[in-house]
Structure 1
Amino acid sequence: MQPSLSQEQLQEALQKSAQPGQYARQFLEQEQARLNQAFETTDIQVLVRARAELVDRVLIAAWSLFGLAGREGVALVAVGGYGRAELHPCSDVDLLVLLADDPSQPVRDGLERFVTFLWDIGLEIGHAVRTLDECVELARADITVATNIMEARTLAGSDRLREQLEDRTGPEHMWDSAAFFAAKWEEQTDRHRRFNDTEYNLEPDIKNAPGGLRDVQMIAWVAKRHFNADSLEALVDVGFLTREEYGVLRKCLDTLWEIRWQLHVLTERNENRLLFDHQRQLATRLGHEDSDANLAVEHFMKGFYRVALALSVLNEMLLQLFDEVILRANEPEQVRPLNRRFQVRNDYLEISHPDVFKETPSALLETFLLMAQNPDLKGIRAATVRSLIFHRRLINDAFRADPANNALFMQLLRSPHSLFSLLRRMKRYGILGKYLPEFGGIIGMMQYDLFHIYTVDAHTLLVIKNMRRLRYEDMREEFPLAVDVFYRLPKPELLYVAGLYHDIAKGRGGDHSELGADDAIAFCQRHGLTPWDGKLVAWLVRNHLTMSVTAQRKDISDPEVVYEFARKVGDLVHLDYLYVLTVADINATNPTLWNSWRASLLRQLYTETKRALRRGLNNPVEKQDWIDETRDEAMKMLVDRDCDAGAIETLWANIGDEYFLREAPRDIAWHTEALLQRDTPDDPLVLIRESSQSVLAGGSQIFIYTPDTRNLFSATVNALDSLGLTIMDARIITSADGFSLDTYIVLDEHGTPIGEDLARIEQIRKTLTETLKHPERFATTVSRRMPRRNKHFDVPTRVVISNDLTNDRTAVDIQTLDRPGLLAHIGRIFMRFELLVQNARIATLGEKAEDVFFITDLNGEPVSDPALCQQLQQTLIQELDDKNGQS
């Protein structure tokens, strides 16, 4: 696409204009608008080069405008991406003013006005003014400078200067192929490390992250240095790329260019990060639409992640190939056979001849099994990787149904070595997604939220990794119970199959647990597992969320909750497998999700369920037995501390059974002793300690004893929020004589208990005590802003109200956008409706709050009026959705 004015016409127009800067700015804006309008109908390669040509014309005209054209010993040179004639709407324009010697004063003056002009017309320029000798010295010292010079082209002035620079900085004089490759590989390794060595970041950088534009440029730079190839396609002619690989590379590069073009247009700046702020709009701009199962933004990001993975694998394979075949071609080799199909060359696995996979397709799986059986191998040779990728097309229905191939895959799952890393290799090379098409469907699939920070395929393999880690004793400190349980599993491979399939049906619509269970059964039948094994795996997939939901959203201090969960589990074998799967799953979902509190909830549920199973499902524990046992244990502890039994009984007489059902004996003893010994009975009592001293290990306990008031919950949670504490659990119990005995489990902003920070503990105690002296003065104050990422999510409020008939209270299940001050606001709504919060389970999952409140009316009765329930539901939805719209 040619600009509307030729070079000569533009130069003449600038010379004649009274305001050349304004003219040039308007020309750029009009021409860029024309390019943007052509996006739908024009090849992106044409647009990218048209943008570069547009800028060329403006720069050349400006060079002439300021009297620099025709000057001897000075040249205007495009470098970097601009040197490749590749520009996006807001890309930096990298320029080198190349001088033969120090410039004269007229040249200095002209250059100064030239650079100022470019900034004034809105170009983002990166420029350097250097002599030829300076450039040579800098290139010798800095690989980045040497790389930029490789892509230089002359825009104006002496082309001979650039040719001299190119010659003096060529591989004959500095940075030969080996040195250049080593430096660039180290540079790439450092760059990838900054992005956690993954293509799957939530807000990926399409330029610098693994699988981004830099990885394509890396291939081109290394090959250009060695082959002097001027384009990616030229690498096919020199045998470095196959025609098919070039096609994949070109298609992926075009996709990234299209995304980057629209990202620049949308943000009006040189933005390369796919922030949540932009992902939805980009999806729409690039033609994606919502489907029944997935949002448009999820379709868009899945396509991006697949492109990034493909580029990353190509980059890895080609650079390894370059290293092996070109740089190490003359090194001595040690080759030993493994079998008729494979051999080991210098500690790397390779096929024994080029037609191995064609003649024996099962060798596609055997490759990875041999890697598992020979843990000393450093990797797979690049040529074998290339052959694997090419021949993966041989994996079809007949291949998948072949018992020999099924046996190979099960051998891999039973291997003691490197299962996660090999499954990850199989995914990267496209083998796993072909062998298990259902897994292929989730590769690159993302869920548009802050809870699931990995794509479904990456999460799935991390689950396997977490399971494998439990084999090691050094994991015992972090996962003591899980390590013990893992060792008892009779067939760990069943756990791995459940891990592979637990989320495999996401994105299809419907219940992914049920659909995944069907897939798992089919897998087990095809791979020769017994019917009992298949049923266990399917049960685990179907119920993989049950334990975490029960632990986090139900009152597991209630024996009936434990009994119902035990009935669903049925026996200790199912409990053991489910516990390990749950621990591995939570840890692979989001690093911030697993904390000491969630660990303690799962441990408590596991322990109580195991006890219930041993007692027998036909012999459930009675609530009164539980209460009596708790009172007796607490009394024994207190008497051992020389507390007066009569005073204890007098204090407990007005508290009620609910307290002894919900609290642990050690905590009751702690509370009681403090209540009996306090010096100021009219002031609120606030106790704080690590809950690791009780069965509620994993958070900090805050116990409050104070006269009950309607706004007590709101005032308390607002004070805790202002202190930067996250509430994980709340128990609110009102005694017969009008006092509230409340226990809050909290974590600090880092997701850890408060610890032994005495100053911090005293600050919390003082703030709460002052708040609770006059809770009626409480007013919601939100000092913290909503996190940037949360603002870009539409989380419509859902409220489900049901009666918990067993415990005579009403459950209010609220799902809404998380934001500072949320709990205090909900508490004020309950107060307005004259409702009391008796218990609460608090969970924040990414941008979403999923909280359950157990409430009663002022008489301690469930809310039985349907009209009141409907009004409460509507008020919560309306007010919390109004909050969604606020910053």
Structure 2
Amino acid sequence: MASISAEELKGELAAGRSGLIDSALARTLDPQGLRSAMTELFDLVLGRLATHAGIVPGSGFALCAFGGLGRREMLPYSDLDLVLLYDGGRAGELQATADALWYPLWDSGLSIDHSVRTPEQCLALAAEEPKVALSMLEVRHIAGESSLCDKAASGARTAWRKVVHSKLDELVEQIAVRRRRSGAIAHRTEPDLKYGEGGLRDAQILDALAAANVANEAIAVIPGGPGRGALEARKLLLDVRTGLHLVGGKPRDILHAQFAADVARLLHYDDRFALARDLSNASRTIAFATDLGIRTARGAIPRRGIAAIRRAPARRPLAEGVVEQGGEVVLARGARPERDDSLLLRVATASARHGIPISAGTLRRLADGAPSLRNESSQVYHDNLVSLLGTGEAAIDVIETLDRSGLWDRILPEWAAVRDLPSRSAVHVFTVDRHQVQVVAEATRLATDVSRPDLLLICALVHDIGKGRRRDHCELGAELTSVICARLGMPERDAERVVTVVRHHLLFAKTAASRDAADPATAEEIFVRLGTRDRPTFELLVALTEADSRATGPGVWTPWKAHVHSTLATTCSAFVDDVAPGAPELSAADGPAVTANIRISKGAYATRYVLEAEIDGGTGGLADVLLVLAARGIEVVQAQTLRVEQGEAGEIHRVRAEISTLFGTPSDPALVAQDLRALSSSTVRSRLHSKVDRRQQEAWTAARASPRVWFEPGDREEAGSDPRSGLLRVRSADRPGLLAEMIGACRAAGVEVEWSRAETFGEFVADTLHVSGISDAPGGSERLVAAVRAMLPSPLPEAEENR
């Protein structure tokens, strides 16, 4: 049997490849043209080699390619992935044929991954291992019996369609392991173009799902989405990897910094940062398309056996106009995105809070109909956005989904300027947009350090929004933030605080690093620069500084830095202006009372209502009313209560509260009163507590921030002050029925709540209760504080350690 020599093979490949590489380096041949030409070169050479080895039509043998050559995406220094197929006969010729094929390839110095199998053996192996199944989907005939290759290729596709439902979970786990090992291309200084999240391996998953007819790259084509489609994104990654081979002179998958500038020039980019931005966009598009495709594939897989005759999955309500169906967030049947300004944010919040992804169909409906936020919008936008941001880490993937769908621009059109923008600092591990979202996640861990967690989350989201332009990003960011705050319908005073913190968000860190943190003059300088001594503003600045540092990268927030910042914060605290909360002024509610003196009227927007009540029974009666409301799915957003002595008639609590429902209208006051009358029964009380417990387990995310509770005694030197009274201050993550539990704890301790001010900011609360009647025994206030703290949501131990 004649054979081509290794030297001849090596010379032919070297000459052809050298000429193509020179043309590509001279930029007379673009990367895609180079890949096509390289594929043709190897097809020609391998075809000649196979013919010399006797692999011809009628021989019972076939040479097939998979991998890059199989996909016609041959790179300059890619490995060769080949399989020699035979029909099971001619066993005596098999060894000689294989030797004639493989030895010249080995001796030529080529790196090859090769095997010898029958089509049936290939299919059996593919049935056992998803990686083999995926590679078999790319098999392409090079030489010999085309029927053997067709049998393997068509059999692989048929088998894949049959087993995709059973292999999908294993495939998803392999994807997760690979992504954890290689990281995300978008956020790596030296990204792995092949194995990283959003890389070429992810793109191949989409091809495999398309081959099974369960999803394809078009699944992620959302009208108005940013950047390129999945196919274009894949081409860019291939072009970058091709350029990396060219400038690196060998097979490379990781775009090391030393090659980035040369690759950028080869691909006609101004610099490596421009390339990094496009690469980030492309990889995030592929990752989004892959994840969306997998979820779509799960829904497209036909149910079998008993599951096939069951009814469609139940729809579980999550929020007004939002339900869960089949493990995804979808719109309720009556939802109308074009008529509901806040539906987009409610969908996002429900997804983050419950850990359920948004369906592709829902994203398309929102893209088609959800309006952009208008200028001078109502408070509803601010409230819903804060609720989304308050979910912390859970919000990251949801915001990424909105961003890749073009929906995030409708909430923050200013985001486009920082999308995929690479940081110029080596210590930053994320792009600017992703960094800001990470700062939000870090800020949720510090939310109980500030009196206004809602403003902290907004500051975190937009603090670097001015980057990427030829101006001081702090000053430009402050200007843009002013526009954003107006669009979110924020009160003027709150907007001033956010704008001030964004303008000076680097002030605290720079001062701590360059001045004596314990020197009062240093503190004075900070307040002069800040232009205010307002305590909430100062708290926001300190917390944002820490969150920003923690989100920058590992090792940036060090124990030494934490110590210096804490020292400076303590020094500054003596110079801030404090405004003590005062008792609310609540007069008897106007209008006729509706059953048990409880009135509920419409509030500022849908799902918000105003409750006014006069409650008999002192603190115990107040706790009972709050318990009933929580059991009926009614949450207190803001509340003021005042205890009023009625002389011989006893006492009442006047209440004015802004309340919220997840969906629908709140219960009729008559039903609330009915539950109140029945609370004398321990069975009824237990039933209501069980309802609240169930809501806590089903409908709320884990706490991210450690609760803070402290007692501020009354002024003992003030005439008429009661030494057994004072302010109980609480900052905590929220959960259903929390205010009822806290006031119930006061009741159990024999303490009266004289008045209270309760505020909910998304996932967090900041409450002040003026209490009296604390025990004269030593440690009375400490026991009350401990009792309240024990019932508050606390982070998991790992989250506490990370803090």
Q: TM-score, normalised by structure 2?
A: 0.64
The one of 427, 434, 439 aligned to 1:458: 434
Q: How does 1:841-860 map to 2 (within 5 A)?
A: none
The answer to whether the 8 A contact 1:52-1:82 is kept is: yes
Residue 277 of structure 2 corresponds to residue 277 of structure 1 = no
Residue 45 of structure 2 aligns to which amino acid in structure 1?
V
Q: Is the 8 A contact 1:177 1:226 kept in 2?
A: no
Name the residue aligned to 1:249: 230
Cα 1:536–1:267 change in 2 (3 A) is: same
1:591 maps to which residue? 554
Aligned with residue 383 of structure 1, among 339, 352, 361: 361
Partner of 2:391: 418
In 2, Cα distance between the equivalents of 1:186 and 1:207?
Answer: 17
Q: Structure 1: how far apart are the matches of 2:113 and 2:44?
A: 18
Contact preservation (8 Å) 1:88, 1:264: yes
- Worse-superposed segment, 451-460 or 331-340: 331-340
Q: Distance in 1 between matches of 2:575 and 2:234?
A: 59
Corresponding residue of 2:280: 305
Mapped to 1, the partners of 2:387 and 2:221 lie a distance apart of 37
List per-residue Cα deviations over 1:777-799 (Å, max 9, x = no partner).
Answer: xxxxxxxxxxxxxxxxxxxxxxx
Deviation at 1:544, TM superposition (A): 0.9
More off after superposition, 133-142 vs 591-600: 133-142
Alignment partner, residue 205 of structure 1: 192
Question: 1:269–1:41: structure 2 CA closer, same or farther, 3 Å change rule?
Answer: closer
1:480-518 CA-to-partner distances (Å, cap 9, x unmatched) read xxx5xx1xx332111122112211111101211111111
Number of the residue aligned with 1:24: 12
**2:186 and 2:420 in contact (8 A); partners too:** no
- Matched to 2:380, the amino acid is A
**Of 167, 170, 181, which aligns to 1:180?**
167
Q: Which residue, out of 230, 237, 241, partners 1:260?
A: 241
Residue in 2 aligned with 1:520?
A: 481
- % same residue: 25
Which amino acid in 2 is paired with 1:323? R
Distance (whole Å) between structure 1 residues aligned to residue 179 and residue 553 of structure 2: 21
What secondary structure does 1:156 align onto? strand
Against the structure 1 CA distance between its residues 254 and 608, is the aligned structure 2 distance closer, same or farther, given a 3 Å change threshold? same
Query: Shift of the alpha carbon at 1:117?
Result: 2.3
Partner of 2:470: 509
Aligned to 1:218: 205
Q: Distance in 2 between matches of 1:124 and 1:521?
A: 59
Q: Which residue is 1:431 aligned to?
A: 407
After superposition, what is the alpha-carbon deviation per residue over 1:455-476, rounded to whole angstroms, capped at 9, x for unaligned? 11111011110111235xxxxx
2:496 aligns with one of 519, 535, 551: 535
How do 1:259-658 and structure 2 match up within 5 A? 259-289=240-270, 296-327=271-302, 330=308, 332=311, 333-335=313-315, 341-346=321-326, 348-352=328-332, 356-358=336-338, 360=340, 363-371=343-351, 375-376=353-354, 378-389=356-367, 395=372, 399-401=373-375, 403-404=377-378, 407-414=380-387, 418=391, 420-421=395-396, 422-471=398-447, 486=449, 489-569=450-530, 570-571=532-533, 572-611=535-574
Please list the CA deviations of residues 597-627 of structure 1 after superposition, one character each: whole Å capped at 9, or x if unmatched: 1111111111122245599xxxxxxxxxxxx
How far 1:247 moved relative to its partner? Answer: 7.4
CA contact under 8 A between 2:346 and 2:384: conserved in structure 1? no
Give CA-to-partner distance per residue, 1:41-96, whole Å, 9 cap, x none. Answer: 65x54543332121111111122234444673322111233222221222222101
- 1:350 and 1:247 mapped to 2: Cα distance? 26
Corresponding letter in the other structure for 1:579: V
Do the aligned partners of 1:400 and 1:435 also contact (CA within 8 Å) in 2? no
CA contact (8 A) 2:220 2:289 kept: no
Amino acid in the other structure paired with 1:283: A
CA offset digits 1:212-253 (Å, max 9, x no partner): 1222210111220347x9xx6xx87xx998999997122212
| Kept after mapping to 2: 8 A contact 1:98/1:129 | yes
- Corresponding letter in the other structure for 1:407: V
| Cα distance in structure 2, aligned partners of 1:384 and 1:613 | 48
Q: Which moved more, 1:419-428 or 1:462-471?
A: 419-428
Structure 1 residue 80 and structure 2 residue 71: aligned?
Answer: no
What code does the residue aligned with 1:28 have? G
Q: Provide the secondary structure at the position in 1 that maps to 2:536.
A: helix
Q: Deviations over 1:248-281 (max 9, x none)?
A: 1222122222212111111122212121111122
Q: Take 1:593 and 1:130, find their aligned partners in 2: how far apart are those partners?
A: 54
Counterpart CA distance in 2 for 1:175 and 1:346 is 22
Q: Whole-Å Cα distance in 2 between the matches of residues 457 and 243 of structure 1?
A: 21
Paired residues of 1:195 and 1:201 also in contact (CA < 8 A): no
* Rounded Cα–Cα distance in structure 2 between residues aligned with 1:460 and 1:240: 24
Match of 1:536, SS?
helix
Counterparts in 2 of 1:586 and 1:172: CA distance versus 1, 3 Å = closer
The answer to whether the Cα contact below 8 Å between 2:517 and 2:565 also exists between their aligned partners in 1 is no
User: Which residue in the other structure is 1:152 paired with?
Assistant: 139
Instruction: After TM superposition, give the deviation of residue 563 of structure 1 in Å.
Output: 3.9
> Which residue identity is paired with 1:577?
L
Flag structure 1 segments of 5+ consecutive residues without an equivalent. Answer: 1-11, 290-295, 472-482, 616-887
Deviations, residues 140-175 of structure 1 (Å, cap 9, x unaligned): 322222222222122112223233434555545996
CA distance in 2, matches of 1:57, 1:153: 14
Shift in alpha-carbon separation, 1:386–1:70, aligned structure 2, 3 A: same
Asked if the contact 1:317–1:386 (Cα under 8 Å) also holds between the matched residues in 2, the reply is no
Letter in 2 for 1:159: S
Cα shift at 1:353: 5.5
Structure 2 counterpart SS, 1:418: coil
How far apart, CA to CA, are the structure 2 residues paired with 1:456 and 1:380? Answer: 24
When normalised by structure 1's length, the TM-score is 0.58
Deviations 1:832-880 (A, max 9, x none): xxxxxxxxxxxxxxxxxxxxxxxxxxxxxxxxxxxxxxxxxxxxxxxxx
Counterparts of 2:265 and 2:106 in 1: how far apart (Å)? 32
Shift of 1:360: 4.9
1:302 deviates by 0.9
Q: How many residues align?
A: 566
With over 3 angstroms needed to count, the CA separation of the structure-2 counterparts of 1:322 and 1:529, relative to structure 1, is same
Provide the residue aligned with 1:666 in structure 2: none
Equivalent residue letter for 2:24? N
CA distance in 2, matches of 1:212, 1:370: 29
> What is the DSSP-based 3-state SS (H/G/I as helix, E as strand, rest coil) of the residue aligned with 2:252?
coil
Q: In 2 relative to 1, CA 35–220 (structure 1 residues): closer, same or farther, beyond 3 Å?
A: farther
The code of the aligned residue for 1:20 comes to E
SS of the residue aligned with 2:468? coil
2:182 counterpart SS class: coil
